[in-house]
């Protein structure tokens, strides 16, 4: 997928199956590591949350409109924003799609934005820090007893 021509736009309810399909292939297949989000959740998020989709805008006709990346953010009950997921199709990684999604998501953030990340994933932690996120706390056993997470925060300027 080199030389990608794509656009970042708010996903619509009609996009939820494409985003859910991307979710299944963009994350590890290890059943004890990945907690899949079901199609029903993506349907609701595409209608009621901020779901940005990177869609191919040119190429073969079958590629036009295909979702090659997505970002999901939603408000929390504490009045913050939570970046739940950012994902890029494996064949589109390294092409700037993830950076474009993150920049657009953070540009739309009007309050503190939180995310969680595996503290052993030092590349991801550094990447988030490069976008202005800071480690807020380490939560032991965040998902399961052996799955610790950093909670990181970004404060809009």
Residues 60-112: tens digit of each pLDDT: 445 556 999 999 999 999 999 999 999 999 999 999 999 999 999 999 999 99
* pTM greater than 0.85: yes
Residue 130 contacts by C-beta under 8 Å, 6 or more apart in sequence? none
Residue 106 contacts by C-beta under 8 Å, 6 or more apart in sequence? 113, 131, 132, 154, 156
Residues 26-39: tens digit of each pLDDT: 876 665 666 668 89
Q: What is the pLDDT of residue 60?
A: 44
Q: What is the pLDDT of residue 22?
A: 93
Query: Whole-angstrom Cα distance, residue 121 to residue 5?
Result: 30
Q: What is the pLDDT of residue 34?
A: 63
In angstroms and rounded to an integer, the radius of gyration of the C-alpha atoms of the chain is: 15
């Amino acid at each position: 997928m080199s030389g990608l021509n794509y656009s970042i736009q708010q996903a619509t309810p009609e996009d939820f199956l494409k985003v859910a399909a991307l979710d299944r292939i963009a994350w590890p297949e290890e059943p004890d590591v990945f907690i899949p989000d079901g199609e029903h959740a993506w349907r609701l998020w595409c209608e009621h949350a901020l779901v940005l989709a990177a869609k191919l805008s040119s190429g073969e006709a079958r590629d036009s409109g295909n979702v090659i990346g997505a970002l999901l953010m939603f408000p929390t009950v504490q009045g913050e924003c939570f970046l739940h997921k950012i994902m890029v199709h494996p064949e589109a990684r390294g092409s700037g799609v993830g950076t474009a999604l993150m920049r657009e998501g953070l540009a739309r953030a009007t309050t503190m934005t939180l995310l969680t990340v595996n503290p052993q994933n030092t590349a991801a932690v550094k990447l988030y820090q490069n976008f202005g996120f800071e480690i807020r706390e380490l939560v032991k056993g965040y998902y399961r007893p052996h799955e610790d997470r950093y909670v990181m925060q970004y404060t809009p300027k």
